[in-house]
Structure 1
Amino acid sequence: MFDSVVTNIGGGYHSRHGLFTAPKAGVYIFSSSLLVQPNSGIEGQIMKNGRNIQGVLANSRIHKDYVQGSGTAVVQLGIGDEVWVETTEWTHDAALRMDDYTSFMGCLIFEL
């Protein structure tokens, strides 16, 4: 869940559940960035209604520094469709760096 919400015009993002619910039918763009600490890794996915639409991988297992991975998807949504970021695989010691370094965003490009 991303509980620090900067902009939420239309109220589509629900920080309590970590879900974006489409308020309008249209074409949307979504992006997520994940920053992991050194010597760790995380794999995530941008999900639409329970289906993977874009992978996000940050792997610093062979590096001695922070690594950021990102993914972006353009997708058609109907009213009420849900989009979220889900982590699917972690190394045993992986930790996300939150604050301004790990993010999720969605934006309506045009209505249908």
Structure 2
Amino acid sequence: MNSRIRVRLMIVVLIGLAKSVEGSQHNETKSSTLSDALDKAAALVDKDPSSHDLNLLNSFMTDKRHQLGNGKLQTKTQHTHVDETLEKMQAEIDELKSSLKTVLTMCQNVPQKRSVLAEPQVAFYAQSTHGRINVGEHQTIVFDQVVTNVGNAYNKFSGMFTAPVSGTYAIFWSTFNGHHTHLLSELVHNANVVGLAWSDAYDHDDGEMASNQAVLPMNAGDIAYVRSAPYNPPCVADGRSFTTFSGWLLYLA
């Protein structure tokens, strides 16, 4: 094969190689590679190449092959790094999904708490300020001095507490009697006696105090009150603020 033809063929290969290197390198390196290839091609195309020229061209092609190989290796390394990063990110996403699923499961298993502010507020406390009052059987004891009446469910004129909402209520009452008097009292829920207290100073000269409490499920509109129980001799309610009646809503039904 004619030397000039061989050179021209090598130039074609060289230009193709230079363009391949150009596609795998940074912009600045691309321009330099293509420029070098074209410069060397122009220098050889119009003259018969010497052995030095051929060696130089061969060396140049070998160098560019190495550059191409290094570019492919670098690209492969970059792809490997990207793949590793993506795998790591996917693992983190899977872990977050698992944690979120666990949290959602825990939230579903937690009982829903009612808002305290959304529930009606019910509480009362009243005292009897009267002195000794003879009371007959089943006579309602009126606690006339209201200290607390949140929700206005206690009536100081009738002595009755009316549940404004259905729920469970705590009810407490106390009675006091001076010497030689006594009082057997009953806590009544609607028409049912649900508790007793007996302050008994009937046969001695000092005072006596009694108290009791109850926890009652009550429907809205139910009543609770304290009254005297049947007993002989007649009972006496001794006030002086020792005799009290109170209650509050524990929780809704």
Question: Could you state the TM-score of these two structures normalised by the residue count of structure 2?
Answer: 0.42
Q: Map 1:53-64 to 2 at 5 A.
A: 53-64=194-205
Match of 2:187 among 46, 56, 72: 46
RMSD: 1.5
Determine if the alignment matches structure 1 residue 95 to structure 2 residue 236.
yes
Where does the alignment leave 5 or more consecutive residues of structure 2 unmatched? 1-141
| Deviates most, 94-103 or 38-47 | 94-103
Match of 1:3 among 144, 150, 173: 144
Q: What is the distance in 2 between the residues matched to 1:76 and 1:47?
A: 13
Q: Which has the higher helix share?
A: 2
| Deviates most, 61-70 or 85-94 | 85-94
- If asked which structure has higher relative contact order (CA below 8 Å, sep 6+), I would say 1
Change (3 A) 1:55 1:94: closer
Determine if the alignment matches structure 1 residue 12 to structure 2 residue 136.
no
Structure number with larger C-alpha Rg: 2
Change (3 A) 1:44 1:76: same
The list of structure 1 runs, each at least 4 consecutive aligned residues, that deviate by more than 3 angstroms after superposition, is 89-95
| Deviates most, 52-61 or 95-104 | 95-104
Q: What is the distance in 2 between the residues matched to 1:95 and 1:53?
A: 21
What is the aligned partner in structure 1 of residue 130 from structure 2?
none
What is the aligned partner in structure 2 of residue 67 from structure 1?
208
Paired residue secondary structure (1:38): coil
Where does the alignment leave 5 or more consecutive residues of structure 1 unmatched? none
Aligned pair count reads 112
Q: Which amino acid aligns with 2:216?
A: V
Q: Which amino acid aligns with 2:175?
A: L
Q: Which amino acid aligns with 2:248?
A: C
Determine if the alignment matches structure 1 residue 111 to structure 2 residue 111.
no
Q: What is the distance in 2 between the residues matched to 1:88 and 1:4?
A: 23
Deviations 1:37-62 (A, max 9, x none): 11221101010001100001111123
